[in-house]
Chains A and B, each alone.
Chain A
Amino acid sequence: MPTRRQAYETRVKRRSAVIAGGSTLGVLAAIVLLVPLAPGWPGVKKSFFNAEVFAKTFPGLLDAFVWDVAIFLWSAPLIFLLGLLIALARDARSPALYPLRLFGMFYTDIFRGVPVILVIYLIGFGIPGLGLPRPWNSPFIWGTVALVLTYSAYVAEVFRTGIESVHQSQRAAAASLGLVNKDVMRYVILPQAIRKVVPANMNLFIALQKDVALLSFIGPVEIFRQAGVYKSLLANFTPYVGAALIFLAITIPATRYADYLLAKQLRERT
């Protein structure tokens, strides 16, 4: 026999579920029913949602996406490491290391201040243009360098926030045991800091997975470029829709997971 309170709560819950379900269905129905009524819909359908083109191009897009994944996989660890080093440089306290600190500051300011695509262009064409021999002038190498430089600036800032968020008393406790600064950082501060910023970093790495496509501007035929080739061959934008779906298949689960981690951390803190 439920208490009066329980009965009331069940009623409220049921009502909210009905309202939420109803309004979602309503919006979906409106989209499904109204969009096809638009005068341009047949044209849009033909050139954006063309099943035949989709079937023809999807396998090629998947093949090209392997490049996106590969570039991501070798960039991510480099970004993590460089980001950490830059964050540590910015935390350097001894006066002898002041230049390092200054460098860290300029580095993060510059690479966060310039659009990724510009860095990719300048480094991807500029440095090989100095006359590097093959294979060291590969756009894959210098495109990766551009991504690593840009993203490590963001990751460094995230790490720095993490380092600063570890309470001062942890530093004091470690120092009081006689640990030297280097050990305090390595064994006490960093492990806590890195854990705290996992969700923030995950969001950056999701953005990285998408920005890998920008490397196509300097030559590599990854999914975005492959979709572009199909687009101009077939005069149809469906391959872009296919590419978007492939990206979403990766980024939506990753985003959900990052949100879940963040929510978990918030719960633990309270």
Chain B
Amino acid sequence: MRLLLTTILSSLVATGAFAQNYCAAGKTLLDNKLTVATGNPAYFPWVMDDAPESKNGFEAAVVYAVANEMGFADSAVVWTRSSFDQAIQPGVKDFDFNVQQFSITPERDEIVDFSAPYYAAAMAVLTRKTVVDKGADTSIGALKGLIWGADANTTAVPMLADIVQPDKEPLLYGDNADVVEAMKANQIDAALFDLPTALYLSAVVLEDGVVLGQFPAERSENPDEFGLLFEEGNPLKECVDAALETLKQNGTLAALETEWLSATTGVPVIE
């Protein structure tokens, strides 16, 4: 009897695992594999050393946690690369989901599907020591007087227009590297990035870079939330959402955030 009970219990536990597996079964691009796309290249601290399969970096770690939660072994995760534009074009995708700090917006949601958010990013101001030395501080007045730059593909652009309202028209660039290059050439004083990117750039890329401050999430109308991106109508979304919900409930997401994005603490908040 005890034996029977144990068997039933263990099979129930097993079905629990199977139930997750079953959710994803037949919904992935390749049978029993989870194909995940990320940027080319993928950046610190989202993916360390551009090697997502190392599971190092916040997004890489989240992907493996989600995959395990859905019943995929680590070895069942297949990585591919895609550009931002490829990802949000309509049509058939060559990935199950795409992870490269996609901000969830209603407009984008009409073309593609997003998972529940796995991270809410604060926007932060990246600048250089020389600008701080000249007296730039976190008052909106001082910020207005700076020459601003931003990555044109990010929600930093409307945030600049809504919150900072700079005196001079901002300069916009195609990617982070160009924004940094313009900063080095002293063509812009400051740029708006999500906090982790700003931290990475100030620490690794821009020699005298400083993260001047961060905007509290409530300062922006819709704080930037990152979601995994799916082809419109992909049935896998509900499985991923369920997995993310579990990870949120059991504290895994928060732990990963602390592990990979702990440096986010200590940046002053702009009032």
Contacts and interface: CB of A to CB of B under 8 A. Distances in A.
Interface of A: 40, 43-44, 46-47, 125, 128-129, 131-132, 134, 137-139, 216-221, 225, 228-229, 232-237
Contacts of A234: 107-108
Contact of A129 (B170, B173, B185): B185
A47 B111 contact: yes
Contact of B157 (A131, A216, A229): A229
A225 B152 contact: yes
B178 interface: yes
**A-B pairs, 7 with minimum CB distance:** A219-B171, A235-B108, A43-B90, A128-B185, A232-B153, A234-B107, A129-B185
Given A47-B89, A219-B171, A232 B188 contact: no
B167 to A, nearest CB: 14
Contact of A221 (B110, B112, B171, B185): B171
Nearest to A50: B110
Interface residues of B, number: 34
B166 to A, nearest CB: 12
Contacts of B243: none
Interface string B230-264: 00100000000000000000000000000000000
Given A44-B90, A235-B105, A217 B178 contact: yes
Interface of B: 84, 88-91, 105, 107-112, 149, 152-155, 157-158, 169-174, 178, 181-182, 184-188, 232
23 contacts: A40-B91, A43-B232, A46-B110, A47-B89, A47-B90, A125-B182, A125-B184, A128-B185, A128-B186, A129-B184, A131-B186, A137-B185, A137-B186, A219-B149, A219-B171, A229-B152, A229-B172, A232-B153, A233-B107, A233-B155, A234-B108, A235-B108, A236-B111
A237 B91 CA distance: 13
B229 to A, nearest CB: 10
* Chain A, interface SS category: helix
Nearest to A139: B187
Contacts of A233: 105, 107, 155, 157-158
Given A40-B90, A139-B187, A235-B110, A125 B172 contact: no
B153 A219 contact: no
A76 B43 CA distance: 40
A135 to B, nearest CB: 10
B27 to A, nearest CB: 20
B110 to A, nearest CB: 7
Contacts of A235: 88, 105, 107-112
Contacts of A128: 185-187
A77 B157 CA distance: 34
A219 B90 contact: no
Given A232-B153, A235-B111, A236-B107, A218 B90 contact: no
B152 A139 contact: no
Given A217-B173, A221-B170, A235-B108, A134 B186 contact: yes
B96 to A, nearest CB: 19
A69 to B, nearest CB: 16
Nearest to A42: B90
